[in-house]
Homo-oligomer: A and B are copies of this chain.
Amino acid sequence: MPSLTDVARRAKVSIATVSRVINNSEKVVPETRAIVQRVMEELGYQPNRVARRLRQKGGRRHLLGLILPDIQNPFFAEVARGVEDVAYANQFAVLLCNSDENLKKEAFYLDVMRAESVDGVILPPIAERDSAVLKLAQSGMPVVSVDRALNSTTIDTVEVDNFQGAFEAVEHLIKIGHKRIGLIAGRANLSTSRDRRRGYEEALAAVRLPLRPELVRVGDNKQASGGTLTEELLNEPSPPTALFVSNNLMAVGALEAIHRRKLKVPDDVALIGFDDLPWAEALDPPLTVVRQPAYEVGRAAAEMLLKRLGNPDLPAAWLRLRPRLILRKSC
């Protein structure tokens, strides 16, 4: 693999000149430039990003980190696409890692990010007060928190109005006549779970429906827990007639559990999930969901990060996108 030095030697100029040609910074006389470019062509030279990054402390490394809690969750996959498309358009590569909702794994990857000296990091923090992330941000690394909020006002954030989305969903269930509405809430410590739960509670309160703790369960955002918790709820002495499930995977789990009980959706139990699924239409029945603009979330986060790289002194930005209730057949 040829290096700058090889090119310089072959073109009979100094490495400084070659570097100038590459970065077409300062002036290089057209003839010299032509020669150098020809030699680069001949040798198939390509600058070594590692060396470049080492030297260039202030500059763009054209690399950004994305740490996702679960790449198998279609919501995050869609966020990733949003990030990735913006990155690619700006010739950034994305270093994508999976934290598995595991703080230790996240810490490992944050270290990797720091050590790889990426330009910035985008992530849905695993907990609201995630000290590893806060520390990284304080050390000067640009960080954008997506989907979930961090307990800090100085960090760029892109989130969805979870309260509003949940409120509308439960409001809809009430409007079509449900009085006993169960909630399968998301993992604790997540701003999203809290906000969605609050939406559920206030939608009930708004029409003076009692909040029944026995109809509320807390899951871990995975498909399996959606199933077992739904079974628990259906086993209650007087089970709910409708279910609001705080995340997409758990909603699928809930649907499966209901099928196992040979119950009909929506006649026996109505169901609304949070987060759309590309295959929601093909489910039995097509699932009513609160759709988050996941792609937009990713796109906005990446753009926010790039903007911050351009101007590090910008005040922290906070973007809240609107979710949308998509009515299908499950309620």
Binding site for B on A (CB under 8 A): 1, 46-51, 53-54, 63, 71-72, 74, 77-78, 80-81, 84, 88, 91, 93-98, 105, 108-109, 111-112, 114-117, 139, 223, 249, 252, 255-256, 259, 277-279, 281-285
Chain B residues positioned under 8 Å from A54 (CB to CB): 48, 50-51, 54
Contact A252 B223 (CB under 8 A): no
Contact B117 A48 (CB under 8 A): yes
Contact A47 B115 (CB under 8 A): yes
Q: Bound complex: CA of A255 vs CA of B279, how far in Å?
A: 10
A-B contact pairs, 12 of them (CB 8 A): A46-B111, A46-B115, A47-B115, A51-B54, A71-B77, A91-B108, A93-B95, A94-B96, A223-B279, A252-B279, A256-B282, A282-B284
Chain B residues positioned under 8 Å from A114 (CB to CB): 1, 46
Contact B95 A252 (CB under 8 A): no
Q: How far is the CB of A328 from chain B (nearest CB, A)?
A: 12
Across the interface, A74 reaches (CB within 8 A) one of B1, B48, B72, namely B72
Given contacts A115-B49, A283-B283, A283-B284, contact A78 B72 (CB under 8 A): yes
Q: Bound complex: CA of A139 vs CA of B1, how far in Å?
A: 8
Contact A109 B80 (CB under 8 A): no
Chain B residues positioned under 8 Å from A284 (CB to CB): 282-285
Q: How far is the CB of A137 from chain B (nearest CB, A)?
A: 14
Chain B residue at minimum C-beta to C-beta distance from A141:
B1
Q: How far is the CB of A324 from chain B (nearest CB, A)?
A: 20
Which has the most chain B C-beta neighbours within 10 Å: A71, A80, A116, A282? A282
Chain B residues positioned under 8 Å from A77 (CB to CB): 71-72, 77
Contact A252 B282 (CB under 8 A): yes
Q: Bound complex: CA of A46 vs CA of B78, how far in Å?
A: 33
Chain B residue at minimum C-beta to C-beta distance from A102:
B88
Across the interface, A96 reaches (CB within 8 A) one of B1, B72, B95, B277, namely B95
Q: Bound complex: CA of A78 vs CA of B98, how far in Å?
A: 12
Q: How far is the CB of A72 from chain B (nearest CB, A)?
A: 5
